Structure 1
Amino acid sequence: MKRISVDIGGTFTDCFFVWDDIYVDAKALTTHHNLALGFNEALDLACKRAGLDRDTVLSEVDSVRYATTLGTNALIERKGPKVAAIVTHGFEDTIPLSRGRGYGEGLDYTMQQNLPAAERPDPIVPRQLIRSVKERINSAGKIVAPLDPEDVRKTVRELVNEGAEAIVVSLVNATENPVHELAIQEIILDEFPPHELGAIPVLLGHQVSGRKGEYVRSTSTIIDGFLHEIMFHALSQLSNNLRDSGYDKPMLVIHNSGGMAQMNSTDALQTIHSGPIAGVGAAEHLSAETGLGHVISTDMGGTSFDIGLVPEGGVKHYDFLPTIDRWLVSVPMVHLDTLGAGGGSIASYDRIHNSIRIGPESAGSNPGPACYDRGGLRPTVTDADLLLGYLDPENYANGYIKLNPKRSVQAIEDTLCDPLDMDVIDIARVIKDSVDEQMAIGIGKELRVRGYLPEDFTMLAYGGNGPLHACGIARHAGIRRVLAPPFSSVFSACGAGNMKQLHFHERGVHVTFYNATTRTLYDKYDEFNAVVEELEARGREDLVRQGFDGDEVKYRLEVDMRYGNQLLTQAVALDGISRINGVGDVLEIIKTFGDVYSHRFGASSAAPEAGIRCNTIRVASYVDGDVVNFDSLDAGGDRTEPTPVARRNVHFIGHDKALDTPVYDQGALTHEHVIHGPAIVTTENTTFLVEPEWRLEPTRQGAVWFLQD
Structure 2
Amino acid sequence: MSDSDDVNSWRVGVDIGGTFTDVVLWNGRDDAFFVDKLLTSTDDPSRSVVDGIRNVIHAAGIRGQDVASVIHGTTLVANALIERKGVKTALLTTRGFKDVLEIGREWRYDLFDLEIDVPTPLVPRHLRAEIDERIDAHGAVLEPLSLTQVAPIVDKLVALGVRSVGVCLLHAYLNGEHERAVAQLVRERHPSVALSLSAEVSPELGEYERTSTTVANAYVHPLFRDYVERLTAALIELGCQRELLLVLSDGRLVRATTATRFPVRLVQSGPAAGAEAARLFGELAQVDDVLCFDMGGTTAKACLIADGQPEHTAQFEVARETRFAEGSGLPLQIPAIDMIEIGAGGGSIARVDRRGLIQVGPDSAGADPGPACYGRGNEFPTVTDCDLVLGYLDANAFLGGRMQLDEHAARDAISKHLATPLNISVEEAAWGVHETVTANMAQAATIHAIERAIDVTRYAMLPIGGAGPVHACGMAAKMNINQLICPTSAGVASAVGMLSAPISFEVGRAAPMRLHDLDFASVAKILADMESEASALVAETGVDIASVERRCLAMMRYVGQGYEIATPIDLGAVASSDSAVIEAAFARAYEARYGRTENMPVEILSWRIIVEGPRSALADRLRARGTETELDASPRTHRAVWFGESYVETPVYSRAQLRRGQTLAGPAIIEETESTTVLPPTFQLVVDAALNLRLSALTGEPLG
Shorter-chain TM-score: what band? over 0.9
SS state of the match for residue 451, structure 1?
coil
**Is it true that 1:38 corresponds to 2:27 in the alignment?**
no
278, 281, 289: which is aligned to 1:286? 281
Which residue matches 1:628?
618
Per the alignment, residue 351 of structure 1 pairs with: 354
Q: Does 1:26 align with 2:36?
A: yes
Q: Offset of 1:417 from its aligned partner?
A: 2.4
2:652 corresponds to 1:663: yes
| CA distance in 2 between partners of 1:615 and 1:624 (Å) | 30
Unpaired runs of 5+ residues, structure 2, are 1-8, 320-328, 699-704
State the AA in 2 paired with 1:155: I
1:702 CA drift (Å): 3.1
**Do 1:641 and 1:675's aligned partners in 2 also have CA atoms closer than 8 Å?**
no
SS at match of 2:646: coil
Residue in 1 aligned with 2:609?
619
Task: Mark the CA change 1:35 to 1:537 in structure 2 (over 3 Å): closer, same or farther.
Answer: same
* TM-score where L is the length of structure 1: 0.91
* 2:401 aligned counterpart, secondary structure: coil
The offset of 1:639, in angstroms, is 14
8 Å CA contact retained: 1:486, 1:701: no
Q: Deviations over 1:385-444 (max 9, x none)?
A: 111111111111111211001111111122122321112111001011111111111221
Structure 1 position 667, deviation (Å): 4.2
One-letter code aligned to 1:59: Q
Matched, 1:307 2:302: yes
Partner of 1:478: 480
User: CA offset at residue 579 of structure 1?
Assistant: 5.1
**In structure 1, what is the Cα distance between the partners aligned to 2:575 and 2:641?**
67
| Aligned equivalent of 2:92, options 86, 90, 103 | 86
Pairing 1:390-409 to 2, within 5 Å after superposition: 390-409=392-411
- The worse-fitting range, judged by mean Cα deviation, of 355-364 and 638-647 is 638-647
**2:697 aligned partner:** 708
1:577 aligns with 2:579: no
Decide whether aligned partners of structure 1 residues 45 and 682 sit closer, same or farther in structure 2, where only a CA change above 3 A counts: farther
Matched, 1:235 2:214: no
Residue 3 (structure 1) aligned with residue 11 (structure 2):
yes
Counterparts of 1:189 and 1:130, CA distance in 2: 19
How far apart, CA to CA, are the structure 2 residues paired with 1:180 and 1:707? Answer: 60
1:462–1:214: structure 2 CA closer, same or farther, 3 Å change rule? Answer: same
Residue from 685, 695, 705 that aligns with 2:684:
695
Out of 115, 122, 131, the residue aligned to residue 124 of structure 1 is 122
Deviates further, 134-143 or 640-649? 640-649
Residue identity matched to 1:699: D
Structure 1 letter corresponding to 2:98: E
C-alpha spacing 1:113/1:66, structure 2 compared with 1 (3 Å): same
Q: What is the CA distance between 1:282 and its match in structure 2?
A: 2.2
Aligned pairs for 1:553-568 within 5 A: 553-568=548-563
**Residue 69 (structure 2) pairs with residue 63 (structure 1):** yes
In structure 1, give the amino acid aligned to 2:214: T
Identity %: 28
- Cα distance between partner residues in 2 of 1:501 and 1:625: 8
Query: Deviation per CA, 1:166-215, whole angstroms, max 9, x where unpaired?
Result: 111100011111111111111112211x3xxxx21121111101112221
Aligned to 1:327: 330
Provide Cα deviations, 1:149-173, integer angstroms capped at 9, x if missing partner. 1210121122223332211110001
CA distance in 1, matches of 2:459, 2:544: 40
Instruction: Give the corresponding residue for 1:107.
Output: none
1:97 pairs, out of 95, 103, 113, with 103
Q: 1:306·1:336 contact (CA, 8 Å) conserved in 2?
A: yes
Change (3 A) 1:419 1:459: same
CA contact (8 A) 1:303 1:340 kept: no
Residue range with higher mean Cα deviation, 282-291 or 639-648? 639-648
CA contact (8 A) 2:461 2:481 kept: yes
1:219-257: per-residue Cα shift (whole Å, max 9, x none)? 001111111122112222221111001111110000012
What's the counterpart of residue 645 of structure 1? 636
How far residue 524 of structure 1 moved from its aligned partner, in angstroms, is 2.8
Distance 1:227 1:256 in 2: 15
SS in 1 for 2:607: strand
The one-character-per-residue Cα deviations of 1:448-476 (angstroms, maximum 9, x if unpaired) are 22122222000001111111111111111
Q: Which structure 1 segments of 5+ residues have no match?
A: 105-111, 514-520
Normalised TM-score (structure 2) = 0.92
Q: Match for residue 437 of structure 2?
A: 435
Q: Structure 1 residues 625 and 672 mapped into 2: Cα distance closer, same or farther (>3 Å)?
A: closer
Q: 1:463-511 deviations in whole A, cap 9, x for unaligned?
A: 1111111111111111100111232111111111111111111111122
Q: Equivalents in 1 of 2:584, 2:469: separation in Å?
A: 42
Deviation at 1:596, TM superposition (A): 1.3
Secondary structure of residue in 1 paired with 2:360: strand
Cα offsets for 1:25-75 (capped at 9, x unmatched): 32111112222332233334434554x14xx1x201221100011111121
Whether 1:265 aligns to 2:252 is no
- Mapped partners of 2:518, 2:160: distance in 1: 52
User: Does the Cα contact within 8 Å between 1:369 and 1:380 map onto a contact in 2?
Assistant: yes
Q: Do the aligned partners of 1:522 and 1:586 also contact (CA within 8 Å) in 2?
A: no
Let me know the Cα RMSD of the aligned residues.
2.2
Residue 497 of structure 1 aligns to a residue whose secondary structure is: helix
Rate the CA distance shift 1:123–1:671 in 2: closer, same or farther, 3 A.
same
Structure 1: how far apart are the matches of 2:480 and 2:631? 28
Q: 1:612 to 1:163 in 2, by over 3 A?
A: same
Aligned pairs, how many? Answer: 676
2:527 counterpart of 1:528:
no
Report the secondary structure of 1:610's partner residue.
coil
Query: Quick one: which amino acid aligns to residue 253 of structure 2?
Result: M
The one-letter code of the counterpart of 1:617 is: W
- Preserved CA contact (<8 Å) 1:210 1:505: no
1:246 and 2:246 correspond? no
Q: CA 1:375–1:674 in structure 2 vs 1: closer, same or farther (change >3 Å)?
A: same
Aligned partner letter, 1:201: A
**8 Å Cα contact 2:67/2:242 also seen in 1:** no
What is the 5 A alignment of 1:359-508? Answer: 359-508=361-510
The equivalent residue for 2:270 is 275
Indicate if the aligned counterparts of 1:680 and 1:689 stay in contact, CA closer than 8 A: yes
SS in structure 2 of the partner of residue 241 of structure 1: helix
CA contact (8 A) 1:3 1:61 kept: yes
Counterpart CA distance in 2 for 1:45 and 1:399 is 16
Question: Who is 1:511 aligned against?
Answer: 513
Q: Is the contact between residue 65 and residue 240 of structure 2 (CA under 8 Å) also seen in structure 1?
A: yes
Alignment of 1:131-280 (within 5 A): 131-192=129-190, 194=191, 199-266=192-259, 267-280=262-275
- Which amino acid counterpart does residue 38 of structure 1 have in structure 2? S
Kindly tell me: are residues 421 and 578 of structure 1, through their superposed partners in 2, closer, same or farther at Cα, counting changes over 3 Å?
Answer: farther
CA distance in 2: counterparts of 1:298 and 1:93, whole angstroms? 39
Q: Which amino acid aligns with 1:93?
A: D
* Structure 1 pair 237–127 and aligned structure 2 pair: CA distance change class (3 A): same
Q: For 2:341, what is the secondary structure of its paired residue?
A: strand
In 1: Cα distance, 2:572 partner to 2:264 partner: 28
Distance change >3 Å, CA 158–CA 236, structure 1 → 2: same
1:109 corresponds to: none
Does the alignment pair 1:316 with 2:313? no
Whole-angstrom distance in 2 between the partners of 1:46 and 1:247? 13
Q: More displaced, 285-294 or 503-512?
A: 285-294
Q: Which amino acid aligns with 2:111?
A: Q
For the residues of structure 1 that align with 2:583 and 2:426, how far apart are their CA atoms?
A: 61
- Equivalents in 1 of 2:304, 2:229: separation in Å? 33
- The amino acid across from 2:608 in the alignment is R
Deviations along 1:355-379, one digit per CA (max 9) or x if unpaired, are 1111111111110000000111110
* C-alpha distance in structure 1 between counterparts of 2:478 and 2:284, whole Å: 29
Amino acid at match of 1:616: S
